[in-house]
Amino acid sequence: MKSHKKKDKLTINHISAPNNIVSSSKNFVGNAGKDPFCVYAGKRHAVGSIIEREDGSKLICTEDGSWQNM
């Protein structure tokens, strides 16, 4: 497993459950040392990242660091 450092660079990801990153933004949009992020499957994801569940429902990473229904 990758050693996550506090200042990891963050990207916006589109994830299909379970834990399969379908796409990732090419540009870094933040830094885990100062910007909000959400954690899924032990990895940090930038605000705006989306998880698409097997039942078709979607969650989005919000500014408060939580996953919310879309």
* Percent of the chain clearing pLDDT 70 (strictly above): 90
State the amino acid at position 29 in one-letter form.
Answer: V
pLDDT for res 51: 95
Q: What is the pLDDT of residues 1-59, one digit of tens each?
A: 344 556 789 999 999 977 788 888 888 899 998 999 999 988 899 999 999 998 999 99
Q: What is the rounded CA–CA span in Å between residue 10 and residue 20?
A: 17
pLDDT for res 68: 98
pLDDT for res 70: 93
Question: Domain spans of the chain?
Answer: 9-69
Q: What is the rounded CA–CA span in Å between residue 48 and residue 35?
A: 12
pLDDT for res 1: 37
